[in-house]
Structure 1
Amino acid sequence: MLNIASAQITSSAAASAFFARWADMATWPQWNSDTEWVRLDGPFAAGSTGVLKPKGGPKTKFVIAELADDRFVDVSKLPGARMTFDHRVTETPDAGTGVTVTVTLTGPLSRLWNAILGKGIKATLQQDLEGLKAAAEASRTTRSTTGSLA
Protein backbone atom coordinates (compact mmCIF):
# COMPACT_ATOMS: atom_id res chain seq x y z
CA MET A 1 0.00 0.00 0.00
CA LEU A 2 1.22 3.47 -0.94
CA ASN A 3 0.22 6.36 1.33
CA ILE A 4 -0.39 9.42 -0.88
CA ALA A 5 -1.59 12.05 1.60
CA SER A 6 -3.40 12.74 4.87
CA ALA A 7 -5.22 15.80 6.18
CA GLN A 8 -7.02 16.58 9.41
CA ILE A 9 -9.20 19.26 10.93
CA THR A 10 -11.08 19.95 14.15
CA SER A 11 -14.56 21.43 13.91
CA SER A 12 -17.47 22.66 16.00
CA ALA A 13 -19.83 20.71 13.70
CA ALA A 14 -21.16 17.36 14.85
CA ALA A 15 -20.00 14.16 13.16
CA SER A 16 -23.46 13.84 11.64
CA ALA A 17 -22.91 17.12 9.74
CA PHE A 18 -19.86 15.63 8.02
CA PHE A 19 -21.73 12.45 7.12
CA ALA A 20 -24.59 14.57 5.76
CA ARG A 21 -22.15 16.41 3.46
CA TRP A 22 -20.53 13.15 2.32
CA ALA A 23 -23.95 11.59 1.67
CA ASP A 24 -25.03 14.54 -0.49
CA MET A 25 -22.54 13.73 -3.23
CA ALA A 26 -24.13 16.08 -5.76
CA THR A 27 -22.84 18.98 -3.62
CA TRP A 28 -19.24 17.74 -3.37
CA PRO A 29 -18.03 20.23 -6.03
CA GLN A 30 -19.11 23.05 -3.69
CA TRP A 31 -16.37 22.16 -1.19
CA ASN A 32 -14.04 19.86 -3.17
CA SER A 33 -12.04 21.88 -5.69
CA ASP A 34 -10.88 18.77 -7.58
CA THR A 35 -14.36 17.43 -8.34
CA GLU A 36 -16.45 18.39 -11.36
CA TRP A 37 -19.42 16.15 -10.43
CA VAL A 38 -20.34 12.99 -8.50
CA ARG A 39 -23.21 10.55 -9.02
CA LEU A 40 -24.15 7.89 -6.48
CA ASP A 41 -26.15 5.01 -7.98
CA GLY A 42 -28.03 4.04 -4.83
CA PRO A 43 -28.27 4.95 -1.17
CA PHE A 44 -25.35 6.28 0.84
CA ALA A 45 -24.53 2.81 2.17
CA ALA A 46 -21.75 0.26 2.12
CA GLY A 47 -21.67 -1.50 -1.24
CA SER A 48 -23.26 1.34 -3.21
CA THR A 49 -21.44 2.40 -6.35
CA GLY A 50 -21.13 5.60 -8.29
CA VAL A 51 -19.12 7.63 -10.74
CA LEU A 52 -17.16 10.82 -10.19
CA LYS A 53 -15.59 13.21 -12.65
CA PRO A 54 -12.42 14.88 -11.40
CA LYS A 55 -11.62 18.25 -12.96
CA GLY A 56 -9.33 17.61 -15.90
CA GLY A 57 -9.60 13.83 -15.57
CA PRO A 58 -11.67 10.92 -16.81
CA LYS A 59 -14.83 9.58 -15.16
CA THR A 60 -13.92 7.19 -12.36
CA LYS A 61 -16.07 4.45 -10.84
CA PHE A 62 -16.08 4.08 -7.08
CA VAL A 63 -17.68 1.95 -4.38
CA ILE A 64 -18.51 2.79 -0.78
CA ALA A 65 -16.40 0.08 0.80
CA GLU A 66 -17.29 0.88 4.41
CA LEU A 67 -19.77 3.10 6.22
CA ALA A 68 -19.94 3.16 10.01
CA ASP A 69 -20.68 5.71 12.75
CA ASP A 70 -17.08 6.90 12.71
CA ARG A 71 -15.84 6.01 9.23
CA PHE A 72 -16.60 6.41 5.53
CA VAL A 73 -14.35 4.66 3.02
CA ASP A 74 -14.70 5.00 -0.74
CA VAL A 75 -12.53 3.19 -3.26
CA SER A 76 -11.97 4.46 -6.80
CA LYS A 77 -11.23 1.88 -9.46
CA LEU A 78 -8.26 2.79 -11.65
CA PRO A 79 -6.66 0.56 -14.28
CA GLY A 80 -4.23 -1.61 -12.31
CA ALA A 81 -4.86 0.11 -8.99
CA ARG A 82 -7.38 1.09 -6.34
CA MET A 83 -7.37 4.51 -4.71
CA THR A 84 -8.86 4.56 -1.22
CA PHE A 85 -10.17 7.63 0.59
CA ASP A 86 -10.51 6.75 4.28
CA HIS A 87 -12.54 9.38 6.19
CA ARG A 88 -12.49 9.01 10.00
CA VAL A 89 -14.49 11.08 12.46
CA THR A 90 -13.95 11.33 16.22
CA GLU A 91 -16.03 13.36 18.66
CA THR A 92 -14.72 14.59 21.98
CA PRO A 93 -16.50 16.92 24.42
CA ASP A 94 -13.45 19.19 24.75
CA ALA A 95 -12.04 19.45 21.23
CA GLY A 96 -15.16 19.15 19.07
CA THR A 97 -15.16 16.82 16.09
CA GLY A 98 -11.95 15.66 14.51
CA VAL A 99 -11.88 14.53 10.89
CA THR A 100 -8.96 12.78 9.22
CA VAL A 101 -8.80 11.81 5.55
CA THR A 102 -6.09 9.46 4.32
CA VAL A 103 -5.58 8.59 0.65
CA THR A 104 -3.80 5.39 -0.33
CA LEU A 105 -3.14 3.38 -3.48
CA THR A 106 -2.87 -0.39 -3.90
CA GLY A 107 -2.29 -2.60 -6.91
CA PRO A 108 0.42 -3.31 -9.45
CA LEU A 109 0.21 0.15 -11.08
CA SER A 110 -0.04 2.12 -7.81
CA ARG A 111 3.38 3.78 -8.31
CA LEU A 112 2.37 4.92 -11.79
CA TRP A 113 -0.92 6.36 -10.50
CA ASN A 114 0.94 8.04 -7.65
CA ALA A 115 3.22 9.71 -10.21
CA ILE A 116 0.15 10.87 -12.18
CA LEU A 117 -2.20 11.88 -9.32
CA GLY A 118 -0.21 12.02 -6.11
CA LYS A 119 1.17 15.55 -6.36
CA GLY A 120 -2.26 17.07 -7.09
CA ILE A 121 -3.94 15.17 -4.26
CA LYS A 122 -1.22 16.18 -1.80
CA ALA A 123 -1.57 19.81 -2.90
CA THR A 124 -5.36 20.03 -2.43
CA LEU A 125 -6.40 17.47 0.23
CA GLN A 126 -6.09 19.85 3.19
CA GLN A 127 -7.83 22.66 1.27
CA ASP A 128 -10.71 20.33 0.34
CA LEU A 129 -11.06 19.15 3.94
CA GLU A 130 -11.18 22.79 5.07
CA GLY A 131 -13.96 23.34 2.50
CA LEU A 132 -15.84 20.36 3.92
CA LYS A 133 -15.40 21.79 7.41
CA ALA A 134 -16.92 25.12 6.32
CA ALA A 135 -19.87 23.30 4.70
CA ALA A 136 -20.45 21.15 7.78
CA GLU A 137 -20.24 24.13 10.12
CA ALA A 138 -22.71 26.05 7.97
CA SER A 139 -25.28 23.32 8.62
CA ARG A 140 -27.48 23.56 11.72
CA THR A 141 -25.95 20.54 13.44
CA THR A 142 -23.17 21.94 15.63
CA ARG A 143 -21.80 20.93 18.98
CA SER A 144 -22.58 23.06 22.00
CA THR A 145 -19.93 23.85 24.61
CA THR A 146 -21.27 20.97 26.73
CA GLY A 147 -20.61 18.49 23.93
CA SER A 148 -24.26 17.80 23.17
CA LEU A 149 -25.83 18.39 19.79
CA ALA A 150 -27.42 21.80 19.35
Structure 2
Amino acid sequence: MWEYEHAIETRATPPALWRFWSDIAGWPAWNEGIEKIEVDGPLEPGTTFRMTPPGEEPVEMRIAEVVPGLSFVDEMDAGDFVVRTVHRLEPLPDGGTRIVYRTEFVGPAADRIGPQLGPQITADFPDVLAALVRLAQG
Protein backbone atom coordinates (compact mmCIF):
# COMPACT_ATOMS: atom_id res chain seq x y z
CA MET A 1 0.00 0.00 0.00
CA TRP A 2 1.05 3.59 -0.66
CA GLU A 3 -0.69 6.53 1.03
CA TYR A 4 -0.59 10.30 1.31
CA GLU A 5 -2.74 12.71 3.32
CA HIS A 6 -3.06 16.49 3.29
CA ALA A 7 -5.32 18.53 5.59
CA ILE A 8 -6.16 22.20 6.03
CA GLU A 9 -8.31 24.05 8.56
CA THR A 10 -10.77 26.77 7.64
CA ARG A 11 -13.48 28.88 9.21
CA ALA A 12 -15.86 27.66 6.46
CA THR A 13 -18.57 25.33 7.70
CA PRO A 14 -19.05 21.74 6.49
CA PRO A 15 -22.32 22.68 4.68
CA ALA A 16 -20.56 25.52 2.80
CA LEU A 17 -17.78 23.15 1.70
CA TRP A 18 -20.13 20.26 0.92
CA ARG A 19 -22.07 22.45 -1.48
CA PHE A 20 -19.02 22.56 -3.78
CA TRP A 21 -18.08 18.90 -3.32
CA SER A 22 -21.58 17.66 -4.12
CA ASP A 23 -21.56 19.52 -7.45
CA ILE A 24 -19.24 17.15 -9.34
CA ALA A 25 -19.84 18.91 -12.67
CA GLY A 26 -18.66 22.16 -11.07
CA TRP A 27 -15.29 20.84 -9.83
CA PRO A 28 -13.31 22.27 -12.79
CA ALA A 29 -14.34 25.80 -11.73
CA TRP A 30 -12.16 25.59 -8.60
CA ASN A 31 -9.85 22.60 -9.21
CA GLU A 32 -7.16 23.51 -11.75
CA GLY A 33 -6.21 19.82 -11.99
CA ILE A 34 -9.43 19.15 -13.90
CA GLU A 35 -9.74 20.43 -17.46
CA LYS A 36 -13.04 18.64 -18.16
CA ILE A 37 -15.41 16.35 -16.31
CA GLU A 38 -18.33 14.19 -17.48
CA VAL A 39 -20.62 12.89 -14.75
CA ASP A 40 -23.17 10.07 -14.93
CA GLY A 41 -25.20 11.04 -11.87
CA PRO A 42 -25.25 12.71 -8.45
CA LEU A 43 -22.68 12.34 -5.67
CA GLU A 44 -23.76 8.90 -4.50
CA PRO A 45 -22.20 5.43 -4.47
CA GLY A 46 -21.98 3.91 -7.94
CA THR A 47 -21.93 7.19 -9.87
CA THR A 48 -19.16 7.20 -12.46
CA PHE A 49 -17.36 10.14 -13.97
CA ARG A 50 -14.57 10.81 -16.43
CA MET A 51 -12.10 13.40 -15.25
CA THR A 52 -9.62 14.88 -17.72
CA PRO A 53 -6.51 16.51 -16.26
CA PRO A 54 -5.02 19.34 -18.37
CA GLY A 55 -3.27 17.91 -21.43
CA GLU A 56 -3.94 14.29 -20.47
CA GLU A 57 -6.36 11.50 -21.29
CA PRO A 58 -9.61 11.09 -19.30
CA VAL A 59 -9.54 8.93 -16.18
CA GLU A 60 -12.59 6.80 -15.34
CA MET A 61 -13.62 7.19 -11.69
CA ARG A 62 -16.41 5.87 -9.49
CA ILE A 63 -17.93 7.19 -6.28
CA ALA A 64 -17.48 4.34 -3.78
CA GLU A 65 -18.82 5.80 -0.53
CA VAL A 66 -20.72 8.88 0.61
CA VAL A 67 -21.61 10.16 4.06
CA PRO A 68 -23.73 13.19 3.11
CA GLY A 69 -22.34 16.44 4.44
CA LEU A 70 -19.15 14.82 5.76
CA SER A 71 -17.23 12.61 3.33
CA PHE A 72 -16.99 10.77 0.06
CA VAL A 73 -14.56 8.35 -1.54
CA ASP A 74 -13.76 8.10 -5.23
CA GLU A 75 -11.88 5.24 -6.83
CA MET A 76 -9.95 4.57 -10.01
CA ASP A 77 -9.64 0.83 -10.65
CA ALA A 78 -6.60 -0.07 -12.78
CA GLY A 79 -6.93 -3.84 -12.30
CA ASP A 80 -3.81 -4.69 -10.31
CA PHE A 81 -4.14 -1.55 -8.19
CA VAL A 82 -6.91 0.80 -7.07
CA VAL A 83 -6.46 4.48 -6.26
CA ARG A 84 -8.86 5.52 -3.47
CA THR A 85 -9.17 9.17 -2.50
CA VAL A 86 -11.02 9.99 0.69
CA HIS A 87 -12.46 13.52 0.96
CA ARG A 88 -13.45 14.21 4.56
CA LEU A 89 -14.84 17.20 6.50
CA GLU A 90 -14.17 17.23 10.24
CA PRO A 91 -16.17 19.88 12.14
CA LEU A 92 -13.99 21.79 14.63
CA PRO A 93 -15.14 22.90 18.09
CA ASP A 94 -14.85 26.59 17.10
CA GLY A 95 -17.27 26.13 14.18
CA GLY A 96 -14.66 25.77 11.48
CA THR A 97 -13.72 22.66 9.53
CA ARG A 98 -10.66 20.48 8.99
CA ILE A 99 -10.65 19.31 5.35
CA VAL A 100 -8.77 16.09 4.66
CA TYR A 101 -7.74 14.57 1.32
CA ARG A 102 -6.24 11.09 1.66
CA THR A 103 -5.09 8.96 -1.27
CA GLU A 104 -4.34 5.25 -0.95
CA PHE A 105 -3.03 2.82 -3.54
CA VAL A 106 -4.18 -0.72 -2.74
CA GLY A 107 -3.87 -4.03 -4.54
CA PRO A 108 -1.08 -6.30 -5.78
CA ALA A 109 0.83 -3.57 -7.68
CA ALA A 110 0.25 -0.78 -5.13
CA ASP A 111 3.72 -0.95 -3.59
CA ARG A 112 5.32 -0.63 -7.03
CA ILE A 113 2.96 1.86 -8.73
CA GLY A 114 2.07 4.03 -5.71
CA PRO A 115 5.52 5.63 -5.25
CA GLN A 116 5.69 6.36 -9.00
CA LEU A 117 2.16 7.66 -9.64
CA GLY A 118 1.05 8.80 -6.18
CA PRO A 119 3.16 11.96 -5.92
CA GLN A 120 1.86 13.10 -9.33
CA ILE A 121 -1.76 12.56 -8.29
CA THR A 122 -1.40 14.24 -4.89
CA ALA A 123 0.95 17.11 -5.81
CA ASP A 124 -1.88 19.62 -6.21
CA PHE A 125 -3.76 18.73 -3.00
CA PRO A 126 -2.57 21.90 -1.15
CA ASP A 127 -3.61 24.13 -4.07
CA VAL A 128 -6.96 22.37 -4.54
CA LEU A 129 -7.86 22.63 -0.85
CA ALA A 130 -6.79 26.30 -0.75
CA ALA A 131 -9.02 27.04 -3.76
CA LEU A 132 -11.95 25.22 -2.13
CA VAL A 133 -11.48 27.21 1.06
CA ARG A 134 -11.35 30.54 -0.81
CA LEU A 135 -14.59 29.67 -2.59
CA ALA A 136 -16.43 28.43 0.51
CA GLN A 137 -15.36 31.38 2.65
CA GLY A 138 -16.64 33.69 -0.08
TM-score > 0.5 by shorter chain? yes
After TM superposition, list the pairs within 5 Å mapping 1:15-54 onto structure 2. 15-54=14-53
Instruction: Report the secondary structure of 1:17's partner residue.
Output: helix
User: When the two structures are aligned, how many residues end up with a matched partner?
Assistant: 137
Deviations 1:55-75 (A, max 9, x none): 233211111111114211111
Q: Give distance in 1, aligned partners of 2:135 and 2:78.
A: 29
Q: 1:119 to 1:92 in 2, by over 3 A?
A: closer
TM-score if structure 1 supplies the norm length? 0.80
Q: Give distance in 2, aligned partners of 1:117 and 1:132.
A: 24
Q: Does 1:119 align with 2:119?
A: yes
Q: Give distance in 2, aligned partners of 1:106 and 1:50.
A: 20
Q: Give distance in 1, aligned partners of 2:135 and 2:113.
A: 30
Worse-matched range after superposition: 69-78 or 114-123: 114-123
Q: 1:62 to 1:111 in 2, by over 3 A?
A: same
Which structure's CA Rg is the greater one?
A: 1
After TM superposition, list the pairs within 5 Å mapping 1:1-150 onto structure 2. 1-3=1-3, 5-68=4-67, 69-94=69-94, 96-138=96-138
Instruction: Report the secondary structure of 2:32's partner residue.
Output: coil
Deviations 1:32-74 (A, max 9, x none): 2221122220121122111111223321111111111421111
User: Do 2:84 and 2:104's aligned partners in 1 also have CA atoms closer than 8 Å?
Assistant: yes
User: Do 2:103 and 2:122's aligned partners in 1 also have CA atoms closer than 8 Å?
Assistant: no
Q: Give distance in 1, aligned partners of 2:122 and 2:59.
A: 19
Q: 1:42 to 1:120 in 2, by over 3 A?
A: same
Unaligned runs of 5+ in 2: none
RMSD: 1.9
User: Do 2:2 and 2:118's aligned partners in 1 also have CA atoms closer than 8 Å?
Assistant: no
User: Do 1:89 and 1:100's aligned partners in 2 also have CA atoms closer than 8 Å?
Assistant: yes
Worse-matched range after superposition: 81-90 or 120-129: 120-129
Worse-matched range after superposition: 124-133 or 111-120: 111-120
